[in-house]
């Protein structure tokens, strides 16, 4: 039996990552993953400078960016935008045209805002992706490999069950939200 793909190939020349937002998801998932993979972090920005300094200190990031303009000025960066959904479009509008952007879910606070985010990405020609990371999980990559090589025969039904513990209490911005909608 052949070996199944369970990881993406590493980039030969990783681009510097600028993290915008230094909240729970960045501290518990993004920065630990970047550190484990050895990806270069060019800087961290958060509207709360203390939060940015804390994340930078905890993960050995040498540069805390003082403003969104400073963050957007980092050449050839990949921008990891990890902020509440209602703040995404305002940040995307201020990034350089053609920038590479990873947008943390949700894609806006509602469908109308998701449409504005999509329109902004198209207008600015951003190379953007939503962070729906399950598609990159080892099991999903192996399943894709099996389907791609027609090892499963004709597929007539798929059932995917994900069982995780999600620490919603870490996303304090959601406490006052009128509803939580993952767009």
pLDDT at residue number 183: 46
Q: Which of 101, 150, 171 is nearest to 130 (CA)?
A: 101
Residue among 134, 90, 128, 96 at smallest CA distance from 109? 90
Euclidean distance between CA atoms 76 and 91, whole angstroms: 17
CATH topology for 14-183 is Rossmann fold (3.40.50)
Query: Which tokens is 33 given?
Result: 């993953």
Taking CA atoms, 46 is separated from 2, 21, 53, 84, 138, in Å, by 46, 5, 9, 12, 31
pLDDT given for residue 51 in this prediction: 95
Residues of the chain predicted below pLDDT 50: 183
User: Rounded distance, CA 78 to CA 74, Å?
Assistant: 9
Answer for the pair 4, 145: CB distance below 8 angstroms, yes or no: yes
pTM, rounded to two decimals: 0.81
Q: What is the pLDDT of residue 55?
A: 96
pLDDT for position 60: 95
* pLDDT at position 158: 80
């Amino acid at each position: 039996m052949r070996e199944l793909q369970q990881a993406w190939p590493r980039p030969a020349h990783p681009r510097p990552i600028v993290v915008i937002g230094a909240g729970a998801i960045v501290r518990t998932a993004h920065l630990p993953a970047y550190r484990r993979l050895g990806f270069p972090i060019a800087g961290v920005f958060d509207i709360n400078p203390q939060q940015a300094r804390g994340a930078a200190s905890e993960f050995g990031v040498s540069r805390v960016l003082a403003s969104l303009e400073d963050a957007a000025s980092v050449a050839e960066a990949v921008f990891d935008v990890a902020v509440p959904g209602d703040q995404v479009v305002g940040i995307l509008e201020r990034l350089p045209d053609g920038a590479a952007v990873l947008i943390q879910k949700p894609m806006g606070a509602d469908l109308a805002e998701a449409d504005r985010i999509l329109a902004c990405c198209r207008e600015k020609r951003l190379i953007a992706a939503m962070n729906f990371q399950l598609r990159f999980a080892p099991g999903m990559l192996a399943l894709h490999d099996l389907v791609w090589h027609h090892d499963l025969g004709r597929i007539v039904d798929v059932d995917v069950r994900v069982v995780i513990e999600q620490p919603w209490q870490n996303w304090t911005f959601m406490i006052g939200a009128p509803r939580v909608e993952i767009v």
